[in-house]
């Protein structure tokens, strides 16, 4: 399995630290609002990476945090006249709802920054003791960036060309830095802000130290994969490496994976341009499975453009898969023959080529676009080779294989909407009865009602079939 490692800027063979196990950390969102469509890309991409490792038999310890103390959260709390804790807790719940809708599996652990303060204080103490950090007069603690000779190795920047590596937020004590490159590990409290007691001052941690501590606690000092959006390479991940390796004395992560940006109609997403969309807004227009399919229909390191036209295309493409699955289900329920014939067994064996193509794509730096192409080749095979004469066993073998491959992509062949199937089937039966009774007005009424629910009826040789619009 080859993974493009941001650290080396080349594909490398994946060799886990511990055989059969993967330790993976993915930076999660700062919870001050509903997650936006850009947040969804790393969630879906790295959930799919996780699913493929599990498909290959690995045990994956997958950790993804929630940053629940931050300037944006505090600002939101002040605007609403509530606490930052109330804001973060509310949006963690909303984020988990959106993740579930997108079929993103819950992490093995979802740590909260505010619950790991003791570990942060401990790591900062270690850094001070080792000469990698210092306390300023006002109690701010800074990381001594030049004390880490390899600083810049992830972003491939020369330290002498860099500006200060912390967030673009002015903090107290800025002028007390030894070096403008030094970044904040601990900052003093401001009036009305949440704070914790520390040996240096009452305050709160800097952004970067949070992930280093949570990763170490739940995955160990050395991990296999650290992942996130490419906007996190510098300064966040660069600073994580510096403080983690300075404190622990070992390599922090073997492989670094970063997904590219998502644009809206070929423009960078921004509130000022009016093209800022939350996942909640998008899933009011499109099934969350369509959103997931859309995200995976491009390589994760390629920039992705979001547009109505591309979403409609994704919807149609996904429907090809679900329609094939529905037809297989129909054959499984209505086949005259139960057992596969010798010819069907031989045909099924040829579908190994689609599995091989799928795995080759995923083994090549998780090329989900090519993996989906292999699934579509399989769908074409199903549509060509399954008929009224097909046996139940043959249909089930094909369905199970399709379901397994789609499962790696996190694509559901049957959604929660399938709960409505029995109601729809009853309405179709009532319409059929109305037609038999020559009550065509009632038959038309039922058809129109189904259409209003987004159900399209198709009269076929095998009877009436339906699909969602």
**Total domains in the fold of the chain:** 3
Among 259, 276, 293, which residue terminates a domain? 276
Q: Do 184 and 39 share a domain, yes or no?
A: yes
List, in order, residues 6 or more apart from 382 with CB less than 8 Å away: 324, 327, 328, 398, 402
Q: Do 410 and 323 share a domain, yes or no?
A: yes
Torsion (CA) 405, 408, 410, 412 in degrees, nearest 10: 30
Decide if 347 is inside a domain. Answer: yes
Check which CATH number belongs to the domain holding 130 and give it: 3.40.50.620
By C-alpha distance, which of 217, 240, 130, 143 is closest to 186? 143
Decide if 235 is inside a domain. Answer: yes
Tell me, what's the pLDDT at 420? 55
Tell me, what's the pLDDT at 407? 98
Decide if 143 is inside a domain. Answer: yes
Q: Do 446 and 346 share a domain, yes or no?
A: no
Tell me, what's the pLDDT at 168? 42
Decide if 298 is inside a domain. Answer: no
Q: Do 75 and 158 share a domain, yes or no?
A: yes
Q: Do 366 and 267 share a domain, yes or no?
A: no
Among 414, 434, 450, which residue terminates a domain? 414
Q: Do 86 and 232 share a domain, yes or no?
A: yes
Check which CATH number belongs to the domain holding 312 and give it: 1.20.120.640
Decide if 289 is inside a domain. Answer: no
Q: Do 424 and 345 share a domain, yes or no?
A: no
By C-alpha distance, which of 160, 66, 48 is closest to 113? 66
Q: Do 462 and 351 share a domain, yes or no?
A: no
How many of the other CB atoms lie within 10 Å of CB of 171?
A: 17
Decide if 350 is inside a domain. Answer: yes
Q: Do 243 and 374 share a domain, yes or no?
A: no
pLDDT tens string, the chain, 469 residues long: the values are: 999 999 999 999 999 999 999 999 999 999 999 999 999 999 999 999 999 999 999 999 999 999 999 999 999 999 999 999 999 999 999 999 999 999 999 999 999 999 999 999 999 999 999 999 999 999 999 999 999 999 999 999 988 777 544 444 344 445 689 999 999 999 999 998 999 999 999 999 999 999 999 999 999 999 999 999 999 999 999 999 999 999 999 999 999 999 999 999 888 887 778 788 999 999 999 999 999 999 999 999 999 999 999 999 999 999 999 999 999 999 999 998 999 999 999 999 999 999 999 999 999 999 999 999 999 999 999 999 999 999 999 999 999 999 999 999 999 998 555 545 667 778 888 888 888 899 988 988 888 888 876 688 887 766 787 776 5
DSSP state of 66: B
Decide if 216 is inside a domain. Answer: yes
Decide if 194 is inside a domain. Answer: yes
Q: Do 407 and 423 share a domain, yes or no?
A: no
Tell me, what's the pLDDT at 458? 80
Tell me, what's the pLDDT at 173? 45
Q: Using a cut of 0.85, tell me whether the model's pTM lies above it.
A: yes
How far apart, in whole angstroms, are the C-alpha atoms of residue 292 and residue 412?
A: 10
Tell me, what's the pLDDT at 187? 96
Q: Tell me which residue range forms the domain holding 96.
A: 18-276
Q: Do 272 and 139 share a domain, yes or no?
A: yes
Q: Do 46 and 112 share a domain, yes or no?
A: yes
From its phi and psi, is residue 301 left (phi > 0), alpha (psi between -120 and 50) or beta?
A: alpha
């Amino acid at each position: 399995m080859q993974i493009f490692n941001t650290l080396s800027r080349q594909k490398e063979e994946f060799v886990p630290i511990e055989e059969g196990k993967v330790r993976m950390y993915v930076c999660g969102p700062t919870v001050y609002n509903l997650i936006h469509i850009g947040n969804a890309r790393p969630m879906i991409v790295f959930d799919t990476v996780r699913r493929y490792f599990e498909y290959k038999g690995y045990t994956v310890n997958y950790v993804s945090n929630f940053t629940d103390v931050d300037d944006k959260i505090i600002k939101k709390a002040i605007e609403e006249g509530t606490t930052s804790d109330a804001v973060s807790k509310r949006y963690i719940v909303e984020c988990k709802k959106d993740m579930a809708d997108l079929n993103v599996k819950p992490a093995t652990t979802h740590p909260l920054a505010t619950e790991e303060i003791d570990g942060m204080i401990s790591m900062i103490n270690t850094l001070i003791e080792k000469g990698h950090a210092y306390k300023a007069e006002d109690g701010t603690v800074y990381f001594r960036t030049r004390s880490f000779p390899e600083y810049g190795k992830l972003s491939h920047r020369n330290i002498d060309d860099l500006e200060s590596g912390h967030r673009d937020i002015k903090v107290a004590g800025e002028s007390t830095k030894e070096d403008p490159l030094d970044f904040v590990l601990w900052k003093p409290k401001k009036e009305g802000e949440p704070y914790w007691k520390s040996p240096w001052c009452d305050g709160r941690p800097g952004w970067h130290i949070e992930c280093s501590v949570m990763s170490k606690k739940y995955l160990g000092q050395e991990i296999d994969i650290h992942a996130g959006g490419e906007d996190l390479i510098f300064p966040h991940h660069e600073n994580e490496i510096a403080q983690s390796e300075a404190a622990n004395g070992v390599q922090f992560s073997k492989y670094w994976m970063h997904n590219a940006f998502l644009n809206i109609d070929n423009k960078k997403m921004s509130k000022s341009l009016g093209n800022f969309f939350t996942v909640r807004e998008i899933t009011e227009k499109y099934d969350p499975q369509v959103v997931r399919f859309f995200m995976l229909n491009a390589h994760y390191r390629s920039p992705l453009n979001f547009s109505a036209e591309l979403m409609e295309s994704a919807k149609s493409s996904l429907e090809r898969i679900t329609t094939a699955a529905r037809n297989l289900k129909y054959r499984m329920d209505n086949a005259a023959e139960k057992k596969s014939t010798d010819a069907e067994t031989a045909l099924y064996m040829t579908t190994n080529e689609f599995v091989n193509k799928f795995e080759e794509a995923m083994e090549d730096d998780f090329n989900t676009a090519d993996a989906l192409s292999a699934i579509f080749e399989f769908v074409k095979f199903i549509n060509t080779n399954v008929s009224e004469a097909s046996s139940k066993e043959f249909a089930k073998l094909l369905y199970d294989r399709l379901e397994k491959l789609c499962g790696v992509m996190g694509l559901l062949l049957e959604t929660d909407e399938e709960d409505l199937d029995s109601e729809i089937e009853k309405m179709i039966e009532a319409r059929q009865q109305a037609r038999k009774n020559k009550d065509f007005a009632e038959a038309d009424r039922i058809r129109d009602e189904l259409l209003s629910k987004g159900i399209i009826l198709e009269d076929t040789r095998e009877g009436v079939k339906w699909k969602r619009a």
